[in-house]
Amino acid sequence: MIRVEHVTKYYGNTPAIRDLDFEIQEGECVGFLGLNGAGKTTTLRLLSCLLLPTSGKVTVRGLDVETDPHEIRKFIGFLPDQPPLYPEMNVADYLTFAGRLRKMENSAIQKRLPEVMDTCGLTDVAQQPIHSLSHGYRQRVGIGQAIVHDPDLLILDEPINGLDPVQIVEMREMIRALRGKHTILLSSHILSEIEQTCDRILMLHQGQLAAQGTEAQLAEKLGTGVTIKLSARGERSALQSVLQSVPGVVDVQFQGGTDSLQHVVVRTAEDVREQMAKSIVSADLGLLSLEREATGLEQIFVQLSKGGSQTGAATPGHTSPGNAAAGGEA
């Protein structure tokens, strides 16, 4: 549905995104993840025809954003980071106006409105002026305007920004409910959000695609495999040689401890806790604890952000063939 080919966007002399290259299929729910200033908003604004690329090509359903923005806008719903609300209008009037702007007939809007209000939880405030609404409700009205015309492509920039925990859960439910019906792109710097709502993640760092794929694929791409934390009694050198003899161990790091007590972080290609425990015990070293550390998206994110694109380049052997994790080739 969307093709982004070698797109670069400069604001003055500052590059916001550099040589971005990816593809999004019809019906996918894709999350753009990145720190502030990573280029998420710029990317989404390019896709919604608000900005033009400095170089490269963006096409949506084969239509070029540069030459056919008018056609593309017919099937796009966009929620910017600041919802585009007219404070003096009431919710129902505003959503009607948004529908009319998208060329909907009045009768079609009247039929559609109750559905939209229900999806966004706005039924109770339909007649209230927007300026009297709380931030969470405004955000919902923002989503309402984005979905009122039932667009094929829904683009949400930081949809949970500024919401409280209860509202975040509701928003997540709402996005889940919209999945399948629409192709959804959303951005966030909050990892758990993307993890829980999206099929696929595009991770941006300093304007470049740092990685893409599902959470599992990203973990694989990084080659971190498994991180095991353990504490054991015994001398450091003895423990080190035992650990390194365990097959699959990539890296052993000692973190503090005393002469006779060691705390170690071990990185392994796969989960080798059993063999590791066995080896330590059979070497007569007192094993006190051994646990696998969760490799959540969070950790992947931090590592990728630190390393930028070089992390991907350093572990080419771990990219499984055919998956979408091969950044730059998609």
Partner 1 sequence: MKSIGLIVRRELAAYLRTPAGYIIAGVMLLWQGITFNAYAVGSEPSLSTDVLLRFFEVAGGTTIVSGVLFSMRLLAEERSNGTQTLLFTSPIREGEIVVGKYLASFVFLSVVILLSLYLPALIFVNGKVSYGHIASGYLGLLFLGGSTLAVGMFASSLAKHPFLAVLLAGMFAALLEICWWVARISEGSWASIFEYFSPFYNHFQPFRRGLLQLSDVVFFVTLVYLMLLASTRVLKSQRWQ
Which H/E stretch holds residue 292?
strand 286-293
Site membership for partner 1, residue 61 (CB under 8 A): no
Counting residues that bind partner 1 (by CB under 8 A) gives: 31
Site string for partner 1, 91-120 (x = CB under 8 A): --x---xx-xxxx-----------------
Q: How far apart are CA 129 and CA 131, in angstroms?
A: 6
- Tallying the residues shown for the chain, one arrives at 330
| Interface with partner 1 in residues 129-188 (CB under 8 A) | 145
- Say whether residue 273 binds partner 1 (CB under 8 A): no
Nearer to partner 1 (CB atom), residue 18 or residue 221: 18
The residues that bridge with 58 in the sheet, in sequence order, are 4
Shortest gap between Cβ of 72 and partner 1 (angstroms)? 9
**Of 136, 137, 188, whose CA–CA distance to 164 is shortest?**
136
The residue among 48 and 224 lying less far from partner 1, judged by its C-beta, is 48
Please select the residue that binds partner 1; options are 25, 57, 88, 271, rule is CB under 8 A: 88
- Stretch near partner 1 under the rule CB under 8 A, chosen from 35-43, 72-80, 249-257, 308-316: 72-80
* Among 87-95, 170-178, 208-216, 292-300, the segment contacting partner 1 (CB under 8 A): 87-95
Q: Tokens at residue 101, please?
A: 């702007």
**158 in Cβ contact with 188 (< 8 Å):** yes
Helix (H) or strand (E) holding 298: helix 297-307
- C-alpha distances in Å from residue 183, one per residue of 5, 108, 138, 174, 276: 19, 22, 23, 14, 45
Q: Which two tokens stand for residue 238?
A: 């003895």
Binding positions for partner 1, rule: CB under 8 A: 11, 48-52, 69-71, 73-74, 76-78, 80, 82-89, 93, 97-98, 100-103, 145
